[in-house]
Homo-oligomer: A and B are copies of this chain.
Amino acid sequence: MTDHNALDSTPRRGRRPGASNTRPAILEAARARFASDGFAASTIRLIASDASVDASQVMQFYRSKDELFAAVMAIPPVALDRFSTAFEGPDEHLGERVVRAYLGAWEGEPEESEPLMAMLRGAIVNESASAQLRSFIEARLLEGTSGRADADAALRAGLASAMLVGIVTGRKIIGVPTLVAAGTDELVAMVGPAIQQILVP
């Protein structure tokens, strides 16, 4: 709805003067859309409109909607090292640390949480997103279980991840009122011991 007025000196067509940050703008708009609306409901035109850009620009930078999605997914989450450090250290408060790391990653700054939300929402309908989330979780699991000899350590880590993702889904996507109302510390206090029991039998 923001049409340039007639007195505007900037031409209506052709390349605009100055440097262009259109490409990252598109990526950011796509990230936000995919995170909040999911893959199918996020149309190219809507994303382009969010970035104040023509739809065909999106196609020029990222060759298709799928590649745009892949680009959003490929963003190395800033939260990545949160996980790796969470599994290190003494076993005593392992559960608590892991729970806090997960909740923090999904509920922190948009820059940090949106790729994860997009992954989660996209994994339901988009096959590549599902594979992406799968490999993401698996990579975390390998970090977490490195140095342990347990045969089922991977399974235990996978269970813990799935349970924590379930809590995040309930809070951020489905919106179960009971979970939404709960504070982070309260959750950590309750879930920490349970996760501890899963990870360190």
Binary contact track A132-145/B, C-beta < 8 Å → 1, others 0 = 01100110010000
Report B-chain residues with C-beta under 8 Å of the C-beta of A53.
none
Partner of A40, one of B40, B141, B175: B40
The complex places the Cα of A119 from the Cα of B38 at a distance, in Å, of: 16
A95 nearest CB neighbor, chain B only: B194
Partner of A165, one of B137, B161, B166: B166
Structural contact, B170 and A169, CB atoms closer than 8 A: no
CB distance from A193 to the nearest CB of B (A): 6
Check A92 for interface membership: any CB of B closer than 8 A.
Answer: no
Report B-chain residues with C-beta under 8 Å of the C-beta of A71.
none
- Copies per assembly: 2
Structural contact, B123 and A176, CB atoms closer than 8 A: no
Beyond A123-B174, A125-B125, A161-B170, is A191–B182 a contact (Cβ under 8 Å)? no
Report B-chain residues with C-beta under 8 Å of the C-beta of A193.
197
Beyond A125-B124, A163-B166, A167-B166, is A176–B190 a contact (Cβ under 8 Å)? no
Check A158 for interface membership: any CB of B closer than 8 A.
Answer: yes
A100-134, CB < 8 A from B = 121, 123-125, 130, 133-134
Check A29 for interface membership: any CB of B closer than 8 A.
Answer: no
Structural contact, A169 and B165, CB atoms closer than 8 A: yes
Structural contact, A155 and B124, CB atoms closer than 8 A: no
Residue among A154, A156, A176, A191 with the highest chain B CB neighbour number at 10 A:
A176
Which A residues fall within an 8 A CB radius of B?
37-38, 40-41, 121, 123-125, 130, 133-134, 137-138, 141, 152, 154-159, 161-167, 169-171, 173-179, 181-182, 186-187, 190-191, 193-195, 197-198, 201
